[in-house]
């Protein structure tokens, strides 16, 4: 049987080679087509009015690709030379049409907004005059532009006033809902009281993808392509879970009950105790570990009153009284737990 | 109970199918099919390995505003069948159940919300629970929010136990603008006794936009000795456009997670504390990075800690490529490991994505005879057409016996929502939020 360490050097070299190959190819693969167009040249230098090219915008009530000027509009001033697609297209071999561009699911009426800003396009499109390529023109950003008027909608979380459907058309979370950095640490606390906020963008089963303690696949397997995400149970988690579970067991309890551990630790007899587990003089003595993380013990041994602990841990037994100092119970003295030792 | 859930699930299908797009209803659905094959040790011949080949199917189906405005149905279930499995017994060949299945109603003003069925529930300071039952929530006015729930708790294999049920409620002041504060009660009964009874408080404040504080406190009403079961709080500072800082504190009592019907509650009085912080930089440029550190203090023992950093570069004209490194270390009471991870995402064309993920783990104390291990995962995904994606994975990992194993995976994802989406409506891409620059 091949042990883990054998062939490691070749494997590491192979992975590095694959990574290097993948990124080296970046320069060889074609870039998607773009249109060569400078707003700076047309608007700033030529002083052409916005409506000259974007005339249809005056009657536009929704965001769609058709509000962008068509080729015919360009040809009103420019001559088209046959076979010279490179005049306008970055990739003339595979020119792309504007219609293939995807549009985010935003409800937006230029008709209404142009009226509010009294025709001053730059109120929202402030950087467009200096843009030298379409890539430099940005859709107005929510926190910089929309928030000037829609702050109350934002605070009251009326997302659907503008977003047709954030589930189907996800956007990068804005500052208040930033999912960057420590969000994984915070998201549980935020969800406890603000489930409705999460529901604007996430369907009911979104939580289940990671938190369903009954699912048969861990998130890392279901979303193996999301290397950018901080998914729980990453990689061969099973091999490291004894270290992680003992370091910070509260993370496990978020989803798992002790009884779930039975599946492996009891049925398959996985795990087991270190040597000197029963030696009180040893640092590996089970009493110390049990005091620190009794949940781990219960994962395998909790069989109610028949649990093997009480064989020793009873008054007069080698383990002595199991109750720590100051221990008290509100259980009825007639309960099965108490009657194990106090018939 | 499982039969009831299955019947409800079957009822959902015609309801969803009957939803009328023209009347404002919206139908969505998706399926995920995963073929896996992986090596495991042959129980009959420990010197050799055999392959297991399970197939997993996940189906999601739902509709908003179905029939009557405000009514929504949602169903997500899974099934697994072992096509080739020389290890598992006959009883393990098939498995499947409903993960989430709900019928919900939201009033037009949002003041009333109700949900019945199998659901994930966040009802205050306690952790999320999977409940077969009902949840109602109302906002009567003055920014007061009231919620209550009751139902059965499915067992580890989805089994139904009529003697194991839970109920609870929450009262909160939630003015949206400034955050919220709530108090909650959660009770659980098992075998005719109190298995759990908690009183909790949760809070989240964001009075100023650059500071976000949230946390919770949980008191065990059944335990006089160590009544404080859990306390967590996180303070996060949005320092400027690109920087985040946060500090967090948590105190945990392991016994609190055991039902009081467990005899193990008599064996411990320990608790532990965790104090940590994180810093993140997520600018508009290429670099994004995150670093964190946390110290664990165990009662009567020396402490442990975790620390790590993950810088990554977003490359390409649309920032569609990613290359990153992650270095982390975790020290627990009896062992520790250092992990070095290299990962990358490459999108040569819009529909194709390739990823590579390599991690090396170095253990302070040997784990089953080895002081290090490694994992390699390569994936290639292609969006065949809008909503349909195929992916192939190949990885070298470790099985629970700490033996190297080869793992393969084929994944097909199909989004039915494309059928119901109005003509010309946009289609979401898994990467649209980043690769397209996003609307925001």
Chain A nearest CA to B165, separation (Å): 15
Q: How far is CA A122 from the centre of its chain?
A: 35
pLDDT band at A66 (very low <50, low <70, confident <90, very high): low
CB distance from A312 to chain B under 8 Å? Answer: no
The runs of H, that is alpha helices, within A35-87 are: 39, 50-53, 71-74
Check CB contact of A63 with chain B, cutoff 8 Å.
no
Q: State residue A135's pLDDT score.
A: 67
Could you tell me what percent of chain B has a pLDDT over 90?
A: 21
pLDDT tier at A63, thresholds 50, 70, 90: confident
User: pLDDT-derived band of residue B168, with 50, 70 and 90 as boundaries?
Assistant: very high
What average pLDDT does the segment A125-133 reach? 80
> What is the pLDDT at residue B432?
32
Contact between chains at B76 and A205 (C-beta distance less than 8 A):
yes
pLDDT band at B423 (very low <50, low <70, confident <90, very high): very low
pLDDT for position B309:
93
Kindly report which listed range (A277-286, A310-319, B87-96) carries the lowest average pLDDT score: B87-96
Residue A149 pLDDT greater than 70, yes or no: yes
Give mean pLDDT, residues B409-436: 53
Q: What is the pLDDT of residue A4?
A: 45
Tokens 């008599």 — which residue? B266
Q: What percent of chain B has pLDDT over 70?
A: 78
Comparing A263 with B242, the larger pLDDT belongs to B242
Query: At B425, is the pLDDT very low, low, confident or very high (cuts 50, 70, 90)?
Result: very low
Residue A340, pLDDT above cutoff 90: no
What is the predicted pLDDT for the residue at B20? Answer: 47
Give me the pLDDT at residue B136, please.
92
Q: How many CB pairs under 8 A join A and B?
A: 428
Residue scoring higher pLDDT (B101 or B19): B101
Over residues B332-361, mean pLDDT:
90
Nearest to A214 by CA among B230, B5, B252, B414: B5
Higher pLDDT, A161 or A307: A161
Of residues A23 and B123, which shows the higher confidence score? Answer: B123
CB-CB under 8 Å, B154 with A196: no
Residues of A with Cβ-Cβ distance to B48 under 8 angstroms: 1
How many residues are present in chain A? Answer: 343
Cα distance between residue A190 and residue A178, in whole Å:
12
Task: Name every residue whose Cβ is closer than 8 Å to that of residue A59 and which is 6 or more positions away in sequence.
Answer: A111
B227 confidence band (pLDDT: 50, 70, 90): confident
pLDDT surpasses 90 at B410: yes
Question: Among partner residues B268, B403, B434, which is closest to A1 by beta-carbon distance?
Answer: B403
Chain A contact set for B124 (CB, 8 A): 192-193
All residues at 6 or more sequence positions from B210 whose CB lies less than 8 Å from its CB, including other chains: B237, B238, B239
Distance between CA A286 and CA A299 in Å, rounded?
15
- Contact criterion met (CB < 8 Å) for A216 and B264: no
**Disruptive mutation site among A18, A186, A261, A319 for chain B (greatest number of B CBs within 10 Å):** A186
Q: For residue A138, give the nearest of B239, B142, B440 by alpha carbon.
A: B440
Instruction: Please report which residue ranges of B184-330 form alpha helices under DSSP H.
Output: none
Strand partners, A256: none
Listing DSSP states for A75-127 in one string gives: TTTSPPPTT-GGGTBSSTTS---GGGS----B---HHHHHHHTTT-GGGT-TT
Quote the strand ranges of B210-303, DSSP E.
Answer: 211-220, 228-238, 243-252, 272-282, 287-298
B381/A225 Cβ within 8 A: yes
- The residue that leads in pLDDT, A23 or B323, is B323
Tell me the per-residue pLDDT of B135-152, one tens digit each, with 9 for 90 and over. Answer: 998 888 888 889 999 999
Query: Could you tell me which residue, B274 or A95, shows the higher pLDDT?
Result: B274
Average pLDDT, chain B: 79
d(CA A53, CA A73): 7
- Tell me what pLDDT residue B305 has: 92
- pLDDT for the residue B420: 47
Please give the Cα distance from A259 to A296 (Å, whole number): 10
Residues A108-129, mean pLDDT to the nearest whole number? 83
Chain B CA closest to residue A283: B334
- Chain A residues inside the 8 Å CB shell of B323: 23
Q: Give the burial string for A5-38 (b: 16+ CB within 10 Å, else e).
A: eeeeeeeeeebeebbeebeeeeeeeeeebbbebb
How close B327 gets to chain A, by Cα (Å)? Answer: 13
User: Is B440 a residue whose pLDDT tops 50?
Assistant: no
Contacts of B377 in chain A (CB under 8 A): 224, 235
Which residue is it, tokens 């992986």? B38
> Is the per-residue pLDDT at A29 higher than 50?
no
Calculate what percentage of chain A has a pLDDT beyond 90.
Answer: 0
Bridge partners for B276 per DSSP = B248, B294
Please state, in angstroms and rounded to a whole number, the distance separating the CA atoms of residues B417 and B387.
8
Indicate whether A113 pLDDT > 80.
yes
Picking from B341, B406, B345, the residue whose alpha carbon sits closest to that of residue A12 is: B341
> In this model, does residue A30 exceed pLDDT 50?
no
Q: Give A 262-301 residues with CB within 8 A of chain B.
A: 262-264, 270, 284, 288-295, 297-298, 301
| Contact residues on chain A for B366, CB-CB shorter than 8 A | none
| pLDDT value at residue B293 | 93
Residues of B in contact with A98 (CB under 8 A): none
B32-74: per-residue pLDDT in tens?
Answer: 999 998 887 777 777 778 888 889 999 888 887 776 777 888 8
Per the model's pLDDT, the better-predicted residue between B350 and A21 turns out to be B350
For residue B5, what is the enclosing H or E element?
Answer: helix B2-17
According to the model, what pLDDT value does residue A99 have? 54
3-state DSSP assignment of residue B35: strand
Q: Give dist(CA B278, CA B292) in Å, integer.
A: 4
- Are A295 and B312 in contact (CB < 8 Å)? no
pLDDT at residue number B263? 64
Cβ–Cβ gap B349/A29 under 8 Å:
yes
pLDDT at A100 over 60: no
Under the banding of pLDDT at 50, 70 and 90, the label for residue A162 is confident
Q: Which of B128, B312, B436 sits opposite A211 (nearest CB)?
A: B128
What residues of chain A, 88 to 107, have a C-beta less than 8 Å from chain B?
A: 102-106
pLDDT at residue B431 tops 50? no
* Out of B97, B342, B370, closest to residue A5 by CB: B370
Computed over every residue of chain A, the mean pLDDT equals 72
Residue A12: the pLDDT is 61
Please calculate the CA angle A272-A273-A276 and round it to the nearest 5 degrees. Answer: 155
Residue B299 in this model has a pLDDT that exceeds 70: yes
Residue of chain A whose Cα is closest to the Cα of B94: A216
**3-state DSSP assignment of residue B301:** coil
Q: What separation, in Å, do the N-terminal and C-terminal C-alpha atoms of chain A show?
A: 54
Mean pLDDT of B349-373: 86
Cβ <8 Å between A141 and B440: yes
Could you tell me which residue, B40 or A24, shows the higher pLDDT?
B40
Question: How far away is chain B from the Cα of A278, in angstroms, using its nearest Cα?
Answer: 16
Helix ranges restricted to H, chain A = 8-24, 39, 50-53, 71-74, 110-116, 147-155, 183-193, 195-199, 206-211, 219-222, 237-247, 250-253, 258-265, 286-292, 294-301, 336-339
What percent of chain A clears pLDDT 70, i.e. is strictly above it?
A: 60
Mean pLDDT over residues A109-135, rounded? Answer: 82
- Residue B141, min C-alpha distance to chain A (Å): 14
Residue B228: band (very low, low, confident or very high) from pLDDT cuts 50, 70, 90:
confident
Average of per-residue pLDDT across B5-25? 51
pLDDT number for residue B387:
78
Is the torsion defined by CA of A98, A99, A103, A109 positive or negative?
Answer: positive
Asked if A191 is an interface residue toward chain B (Cβ–Cβ < 8 A), one would say: yes
Q: How many CB atoms lie within 10 A of CB B309?
A: 14
pLDDT at A121: 84
Higher pLDDT, A150 or B226: A150
User: Residue B82 in contact with residue B96, Cβ under 8 Å?
Assistant: no
* Between residues A269 and B145, the one the model is more confident about: B145
Out of A22, A250, A289, closest to residue B346 by CB: A22
Tell which of A182, A191, A289, A305 to mutate to test the B interface (max B CBs under 10 Å): A182
pLDDT at residue number B260: 65
More confident residue, B402 or B48: B48
Q: Is B377 left (phi over 0), alpha (psi -120 to 50) or beta?
A: beta
- Structure-model confidence comparison of residues B139 and A136, the more confident one: B139
For residue A4, list chain B residues with Cβ-Cβ distance below 8 A: 370, 372-374, 398, 402-404
């Amino acid at each position: 049987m091949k042990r883990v360490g054998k062939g490691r050097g070749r494997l590491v070299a192979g992975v590095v080679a694959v990574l290097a190959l993948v990124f080296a190819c970046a320069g060889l693969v074609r870039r998607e087509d773009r249109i060569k167009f400078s707003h700076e040249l047309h608007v700033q230098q030529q002083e052409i009015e916005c409506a000259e090219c974007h005339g249809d915008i005056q009657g536009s009530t929704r965001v769609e690709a058709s509000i962008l000027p068509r080729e015919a509009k360009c040809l009103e001033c420019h001559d088209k030379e046959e076979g010279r697609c490179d005049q306008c297209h970055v990739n003339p071999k595979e020119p792309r049409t504007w219609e293939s561009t995807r549009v985010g699911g935003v409800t937006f009426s230029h008709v209404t907004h142009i009226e509010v800003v009294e025709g001053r396009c730059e109120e929202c499109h402030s950087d467009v005059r200096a843009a030298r390529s379409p890539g430099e023109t940005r859709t107005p950003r929510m926190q910089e532009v929309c928030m000037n008027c829609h702050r109350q909608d934002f605070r009251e979380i009326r997302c659907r006033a503008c977003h047709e459907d954030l589930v189907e058309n996800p956007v990068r979370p804005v500052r208040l809902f930033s999912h960057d950095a420590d969000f994984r640490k915070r998201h549980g606390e935020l969800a406890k009281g603000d489930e409705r906020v999460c529901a604007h963008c996430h369907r009911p089963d979104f939580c289940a993808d990671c938190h369903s303690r009954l699912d048969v696949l861990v998130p890392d397997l279901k979303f193996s392509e999301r290397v950018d995400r901080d998914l729980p149970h990453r990689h061969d988690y099973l091999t490291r879970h004894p270290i992680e579970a003992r370091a910070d067991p509260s993370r496990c309890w978020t989803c798992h009950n002790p009884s779930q551990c039975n599946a492996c630790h009891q049925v398959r007899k996985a795990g087991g105790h270190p040597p000197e587990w029963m030696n009180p003089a040893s640092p590996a003595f089970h009493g110390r570990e049990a005091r620190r993380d009794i949940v781990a013990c219960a994962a395998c041994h909790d069989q109610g009153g028949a649990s093997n602990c009480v064989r020793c841990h009873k008054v007069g037994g080698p383990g002595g009284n199991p109750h720590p100092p100051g221990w008290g119970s509100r259980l009825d003295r007639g309960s099965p737990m108490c009657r194990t030792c106090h018939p | 109970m499982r039969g009831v859930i299955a019947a409800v699930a079957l009822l959902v299908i015609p309801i969803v199918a009957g939803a009328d797009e023209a009347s404002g209803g919206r139908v969505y659905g998706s399926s995920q099919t995963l073929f896996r094959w992986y090596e495991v040790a042959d129980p009959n011949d420990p010197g050799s390995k055999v392959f297991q080949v399970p197939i997993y199917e996940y189906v999601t189906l739902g509709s908003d505003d179905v029939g009557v405005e405000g009514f929504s149905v949602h169903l997500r279930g899974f099934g697994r069948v072992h096509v080739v499995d020389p290890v598992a017994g006959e009883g393990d060949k098939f498995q499947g159940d409903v993960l989430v299945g709900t019928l919900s109603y939201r009033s037009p003003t949002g003041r009333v919300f109700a949900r019945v069925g199998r659901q994930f529930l966040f009802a205050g300071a306690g952790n999320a629970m999977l409940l077969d039952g009902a949840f109602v929530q109302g906002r009567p006015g003055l920014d007061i929010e009231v919620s209550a729930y009751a139902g059965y708790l499915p067992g580890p294999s989805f089994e139904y136990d009529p003697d194991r049920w839970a109920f609870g409620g929450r009262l909160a002041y939630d003015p949206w603008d400034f955050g919220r504060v709530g108090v909650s009660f959660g009770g659980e009964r098992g075998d005719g006794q109190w298995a759990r009874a908690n009183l909790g408080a949760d809070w989240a404040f964001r009075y100023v936009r650059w500071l976000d504080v949230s946390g919770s406190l949980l008191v065990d009403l059944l335990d006089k000795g160590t009544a404080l079961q859990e306390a967590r709080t996180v303070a996060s500072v949005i320092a400027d456009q690109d920087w985040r800082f946060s500090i967090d504190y948590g105190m945990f009592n392991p016994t609190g997670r055991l039902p009081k019907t467990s005899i193990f509650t008599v064996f411990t009085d320990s608790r532990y504390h965790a104090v940590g912080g994180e810093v993140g930089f997520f600018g508009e440029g290429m670099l994004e990075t995150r670093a964190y550190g946390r110290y664990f203090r165990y009662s009567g023992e020396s402490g442990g800690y975790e620390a790590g950093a993950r810088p990554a570069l977003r490359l390409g004209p649309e920032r569609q490529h990613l290359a990153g490194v992650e270095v982390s270390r975790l020290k627990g009471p009896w062992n520790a490991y250092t992990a070095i991870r290299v990962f990358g995402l490459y999108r040569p064309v819009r529909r194709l994505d390739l990823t590579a993920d390599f991690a090396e783990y170095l253990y302070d104390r040997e784990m089953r005879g080895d002081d290090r291990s490694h994992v390699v995962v390569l994936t290639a995904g292609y969006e065949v057409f809008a909503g349909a994606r195929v992916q192939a994975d190949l990885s070298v990992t470790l099985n629970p016996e700490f033996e190297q194993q080869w793992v393969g995976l084929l994944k097909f994802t199909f989004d039915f929502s494309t059928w119901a989406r109005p003509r010309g409506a946009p289609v979401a891409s898994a990467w649209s939020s980043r690769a397209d620059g996003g609307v925001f």
